[in-house]
């Protein structure tokens, strides 16, 4: 199962990704966790050992120029657009307690269609990950779907859009949905986050013209932790209910 999590900045993508990953590990699944956000944070949320020292893929300049056969001094020159990437997770990405963490990092020129070696390498790697059979891949995305090419998008089983009960969050969510549909993704689900009451859920459902697949309430433990990830009983239950709904278990 390959799940890409997206939504407006600050909506709770990393929190929900980390919750899902923890839940799946508890169920004795091994998970590939992919941090696609240039503002790296999934490793911290997962409390990954020495997360601050993990070198993002984009910064592996020598490896990228070797694999793409590009000249780092001539970034606009010719290079290979289908580099070998199948050994990258095992050789270059750390593993801890059932989780393999892949940190993509920040591509220097983040334009959507940028054809620099770094971006091509990242896209190839994501493309490879979503096609690996029998593996669970959870991707913490940036808002939007810049990293997803059309071919890659076909490999994503579920596109999960996090929406907060606010007009701007809903606007972004709807925009992302149309981008994802344009890429040919069919299973696009919404999860409502930071919900205070029933009327928040009604507002989100009505604004999205779709029923959310999960509801995560405003969580006191998270609020008190000031940005640190905490997986308390309430969040655990809500993430599990959401997982069952999106994976068709309920």
Ligand X SMILES: Nc1ncnc2c1ncn2[C@@H]1O[C@H](COP(=O)(O)OP(=O)(O)OP(=O)(O)O)[C@@H](O)[C@H]1O
Stretch that binds Mg ion, among 38-46, 70-78, 176-184, 196-204 (CB under 5 A): 38-46
**Closest distance of CB 18 from ligand X, Å:** 8
Instruction: Tell me whether residue 88 or residue 204 sits nearer to ligand X (CB atom).
Output: 204
The DSSP code for 142 is: P
* Minimum distance, C-beta of residue 228 to ligand X, in the bound complex (Å): 7
Q: Which is nearer to ligand X, 39 or 198 (CB)?
A: 39
Q: Which of ligand X, Mg ion, none is residue 70 near (CB under 5 to 8 Å by kind)?
A: none
Q: How far is CA 243 from CA 17, 64, 216, 246, in A?
A: 11, 35, 12, 5
**What does R_g of the chain's alpha carbons equal in angstroms?**
18
Among 6, 11, 14, 124, binds Mg ion (CB under 5 A): 14
Tell me whether residue 73 is exposed, middle or buried, using C-beta atoms within 10 angstroms of its C-beta: 0 to 12, 13 to 18, 19 or more: exposed
Using CB under 6 A, list all residues that contact ligand X. 7, 9-15, 37, 39, 41, 193-194, 216, 218-219, 222-223, 227
Name the residue with tokens 């004795």: 28
Three-class DSSP category at 4: strand
- Rounded CA-CA distance 58/84 in Å is 15
Interface positions with Mg ion (CB under 5 A):
13-14, 37, 41
């Amino acid at each position: 199962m390959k799940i890409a999590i997206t939504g407006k900045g600050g909506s709770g993508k990393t929190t929900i990704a980390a919750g899902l990953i923890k839940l799946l590990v508890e169920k004795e699944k091994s998970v590939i966790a992919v941090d696609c956000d240039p503002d790296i944070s999934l490793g911290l949320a997962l409390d990954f050992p020495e997360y601050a020292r993990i070198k993002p893929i984009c910064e592996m300049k020598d490896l990228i120029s070797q694999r793409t056969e590009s000249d780092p001094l001539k970034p606009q020159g010719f290079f290979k657009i289908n580099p070998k990437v199948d050994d990258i997770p095992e050789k270059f990405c750390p593993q801890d307690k059932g989780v393999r963490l892949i940190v993509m990092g920040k591509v220097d020129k983040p334009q959507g269609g940028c054809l620099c070696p770094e971006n091509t390498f990242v896209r190839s790697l994501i493309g490879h990950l979503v096609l690996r059979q029998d593996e669970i891949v959870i991707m913490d995305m940036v808002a939007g779907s810049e990293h997803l090419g059309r071919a890659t998008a076909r490999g994503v089983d579920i596109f999960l859009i996090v929406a907060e009960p606010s007009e701007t969050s809903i606007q972004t969510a709807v925009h992302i949905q149309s981008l994802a549909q344009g890429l040919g993704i069919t299973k696009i689900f919404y999860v409502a986050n930071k919900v205070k009451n029933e009327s928040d859920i009604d507002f989100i459902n009505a604004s999205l013209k779709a029923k959310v697949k999960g509801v995560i309430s405003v969580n006191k433990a998270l609020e008190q932790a000031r940005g640190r990830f905490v997986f308390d009983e309430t969040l655990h239950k809500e993430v599990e209910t959401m997982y069952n709904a999106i994976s068709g278990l309920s």
